[in-house]
Copies of this chain bind each other. A is one copy, B any other.
Amino acid sequence: METSTFSYGQLSAFTKDIFLAIGCSEPDATLAAEVLLSADLRGVDSHGVARLSGYVRLWEAGRINATPDIRVVHETPSTAVVDGDSGLGLVVAPFAMKVAIDKAANAGTGWVSVRNSNHYGIAGYHAMMALEKDMIGMSMTNASPLVAPTFSTERLLGTNPICVAIPGGKEPAFVADMATTTAANGKLEILQRKQQPAPAGWIQDKEGNSTSDAHALKTGGALLPLGGTREQGSHKGYALGSIVDIFSAVLSGANYGPWVPPFPAYVPMPENMPGKGIGHFFGAMRVDAFRPKEEFFKDMEQWINRFRNAKTVPGEEKVLIPGDPERAYEAIRRAEGIPLLQPVVEDLSALAQKFGCKL
């Protein structure tokens, strides 16, 4: 499919303009643009500027508050609950992660559960905020229900990602950022656009049979938890997605399971919602709350080097450290720009026209 390439600066300025246009403050619009575009930089195209018009539609539907009063509503020395006041998740999440980091500075670790938020972009951005403080960062969120638990035909969980970012000393950080499903929904969307079949274990049809139909979500199908089938451990993926849901929403008072508000603004809201908005969960652990930094980094460097230089199966060049592929994308895209598919460009052009902004 045809693509056009834009520089990071160009997309960043445009995205900020759109957030300003819907009423965000200058600092919020700057931050939201940075968070959203970190996905495009890191090669997670499904979570970047391609979603900008989706956020705008949520704002138009009255589901996003452009001037939220984000605040801590409950706390202990190492924990807090943050209410996002229906703000952009792109702004609520860094606020909450900052609370976690501040708690960790004092108590060794900080853990923050968030209610009343919206889609927060990529999990990785928030977790990685901890790295520059020599802390381990964690980030997770629940999301629109698209995933069936093992043995179920109902969509009760989101793709509920987990990110764990660990500083690597002289080596680049270890950053595992992953959906708790076999494949993220964005991967499926790529197959849909290319009219290609879905691999086994990615998706089931409405009766719960594994299917290669990449469009099966439209006919009552569901994404599958990591593992794909019971025999191959899907009950573990289901458990991981559930833990994300509970930490993000049952601990905070957000909506959980099938009651999580859907990202597409045209999908009706669930009935009898038990909480407020969607939920996130963040953690920060000071490395030196456990060991002197130098000792930790020495071992972390050795860990990374040992794994990176492991013997490979024939045909594979290297064993990758989590975060390597995204870092490679970022280097290329900062230098050469960010390629956008034509439908995304058209979507952004329509936004530019609507708000009188320049793309």
- Using a CB–CB cutoff of 8 Å, the interface residues on chain A facing chain B are 74-79, 81, 106-109, 111, 113, 149-154, 156, 164, 166, 174, 176, 178, 180-183, 199-202, 204, 207-209, 226-228, 231-233, 235-240, 242-243, 245-246, 249-253, 256-258, 274-275, 285-287, 289-291, 295-296, 299-300, 302-303, 306-307, 310-314, 316, 318-320, 322
A152 to B320, CA, bound (A): 9
Within the complex, the shortest CB–CB distance from A167 to chain B, in Å, comes to 11
Q: Tell me how many chains of this kind the complex includes.
A: 2
Is B79 a contact partner of A285 (Cβ separation < 8 A)? yes
Is A300 a contact partner of B250 (Cβ separation < 8 A)? yes
Chain B residues in 8 Å Cβ range of A303: 245-246, 250, 256-257
Chain B residues in 8 Å Cβ range of A106: 77
A256 to B313, CA, bound (A): 22
Is B111 a contact partner of A208 (Cβ separation < 8 A)? no
Is B311 a contact partner of A299 (Cβ separation < 8 A)? no
Within the complex, the shortest CB–CB distance from A315 to chain B, in Å, comes to 9
A154 to B308, CA, bound (A): 11
Chain B residue at minimum C-beta to C-beta distance from A298:
B274
The residue among A208, A250, A303, A311 with the most chain B CB atoms within 10 A of its own CB is A250
| Choice from B152, B164, B180 contacting A312 with Cβ under 8 Å | B152
Chain B residue at minimum C-beta to C-beta distance from A295:
B253
| Choice from B174, B207, B300 contacting A314 with Cβ under 8 Å | B207
Is A151 a contact partner of B312 (Cβ separation < 8 A)? yes
| Choice from B76, B108, B227 contacting A227 with Cβ under 8 Å | B227
Is A286 a contact partner of B76 (Cβ separation < 8 A)? yes
Is A153 a contact partner of B312 (Cβ separation < 8 A)? yes
Is A299 a contact partner of B253 (Cβ separation < 8 A)? yes
Is B226 a contact partner of A290 (Cβ separation < 8 A)? no
Is A79 a contact partner of B289 (Cβ separation < 8 A)? yes
Chain B residues in 8 Å Cβ range of A253: 291, 295, 299
A156 to B310, CA, bound (A): 8
Is B275 a contact partner of A299 (Cβ separation < 8 A)? yes
Chain B residues in 8 Å Cβ range of A209: 313
Chain B residue at minimum C-beta to C-beta distance from A155:
B310
Chain B residues in 8 Å Cβ range of A78: 77-78, 107-109, 289
Is B307 a contact partner of A156 (Cβ separation < 8 A)? yes
Chain B residues in 8 Å Cβ range of A152: 310-313, 319
Is B149 a contact partner of A235 (Cβ separation < 8 A)? no
Is A236 a contact partner of B226 (Cβ separation < 8 A)? yes
The residue among A78, A113, A153, A310 with the most chain B CB atoms within 10 A of its own CB is A78
A37 to B79, CA, bound (A): 35
Is B174 a contact partner of A289 (Cβ separation < 8 A)? no
| Choice from B250, B289, B316 contacting A76 with Cβ under 8 Å | B289
Chain B residues in 8 Å Cβ range of A226: 226-227, 233, 236-237
Given contacts A81-B291, A227-B227, contact A299 B274 (CB under 8 A): yes
| Choice from B111, B151, B228, B320 contacting A320 with Cβ under 8 Å | B151
A75 to B109, CA, bound (A): 11
Chain B residues in 8 Å Cβ range of A302: 274
CB-CB nearest 6 A-B residue pairs? A208-B313, A76-B108, A176-B239, A79-B108, A151-B316, A78-B78
Is A242 a contact partner of B176 (Cβ separation < 8 A)? yes
